[in-house]
Amino acid sequence: MPLLRSWVESANTPDGPFPLNNLPYGVFSVDDGDLRCGTAIGDRIIDLTGLEAAGTLRADPDADVLDAPYWNDFMELGAEVWARYRDTLQTLLAENADEATQDALTFYSVPLSAATLHMPFKVSEYTDFYAGRHHAQNVGTMFRGPENALPPNWLHIPIGYNGRASSVVVSGTDIRRPWGQLKSPEHDTPAFLPSRRFDIELEMGAIVGHPSKRPVTVQEADDMIFGYVLLNDWSARDIQAWEYQPLGPFQAKATATSISPWIVTKAALEPFRTDTPVRDFELLDHLKDAGPMLYDIDLSISMAPDGQTPSTIARTNYDQMYYSAAQQLAHHTTSGCPMNVGDLLGSGTISGPSKPERGSLLELSWGGKEPFTLETGETRTFIEDGDTLTLHGAAQGEGYTIGFGTCTGTVLPALDDPFAGDLS
């Protein structure tokens, strides 16, 4: 599919993240005003809450669904409404739209640079997976050796854990270094200290837009997904190393999970579908691919020490995943576990086969044994206070780019006393 041209001229550049082909959904405010639902087009945000109130563009003729500061109510209307609304929006913003339409949408728009972006949806539940083979192979090799790197079940099911929906935050939110119980190899007893091996994980997040009450097929699962965000699963590796036996990660993953502010719809990503990798073992029928279920999305990580120039420290692609979001979602439902509108599924760390493609500092520094050098000349093994970590993602089309907005967070020092202050 080539670039779809818009009367918003800034949307017609090949490297801009928000062409007419994209139209991602988010929540914004201006000058501390009300939070409103909008879509990004070029260098502007169209105020869709305002268009709904004016009667210019409504998803539901009988009810306001964009008057709340999240997209959950819209998602609940279902896939037919998602498609019809997007088609209408594209028509209104296409270059051949009449002058009255252009004037109306210009009135209900603001410069992207003037807006503050907020959480685009209410997270109902959050599940994070461990579904990138290169990441799993690297981490397993570090801790168990190459011959036992992958658990016996890994090539047969998507492994995951249930995380904390309450700790999911929007890009730009500062992240406080966590305290936790740590145990070093030199000491027999643990100590309660700030994490010394704080890390990130480069992931994609899939948003469930349709509920389920029974197990679903992979195709049904794919149909349930509303869209995708960049996702950074902040991870305290020293807390994780002490706690994860025998039930897996817990507090190490509960500090925060950052997501990008724009939901890129599954419809916008259709031209970029690609297949999952060749399997070592044939999957059971309920997990078999129902077609190309991954996406060709270029991803990267940059690190900026304490306000300095950012350095790109890794580049990879979402097509490196072993399991797709649809397979993860289908597997999640096999026990009868209900899925809700607004559920968030983290893909797991996305790493490629070579060192520059590793999606975590744990891998880039090989467990802290191989420091890497930034463009500033500084070296890192794990995150230091003041470091800003940013995830980037884009799918490259024919003369256009589908962008997500960045997913960024700056790490603040641990609290002097984590038990002092107001409980709220």
Main-chain dihedrals φ then ψ at residue 199, nearest 5 degrees: -145, 175
State how far the Cα of 43 lies from the Cα of 299, in Å rounded to an integer: 22
Look at strands 407-412 and 175-176 and give their pairing. Answer: parallel
Q: What is the dihedral of CA 90, 93, 97, 103, to 10 degrees?
A: 140
Return d(Cα 378, Cα 299) in angstroms, integer.
Answer: 23
Whole-number Å distance between alpha carbons of 354 and 99: 52
Closest CA to 294 of 317, 278, 318: 318
407-412 and 198-199 as β-strands: parallel, antiparallel, unpaired?
Answer: unpaired
d(CA 37, CA 39) in angstroms, rounded, equals: 7
135 is catalytic: yes
Contact 367, 148 (CB under 8 A): no
Catalytic annotation, pick one of 118, 134, 135, 392 = 135
| Per-residue three-class SS string for 33-89 | CCCEEEEEECCEEEEHHHHHHHCCCCCCCCCCCCCCCCCHHHHCCCHHHHHHHHHHH
| DSSP state for residue 268 in the 8-state scheme | H
Q: How many CB atoms lie within 10 A of CB 386?
A: 14
Task: Say how many residues make up the chain.
Answer: 424
H/E run at residue 91 = helix 79-93
What are the catalytic residues? Answer: 135
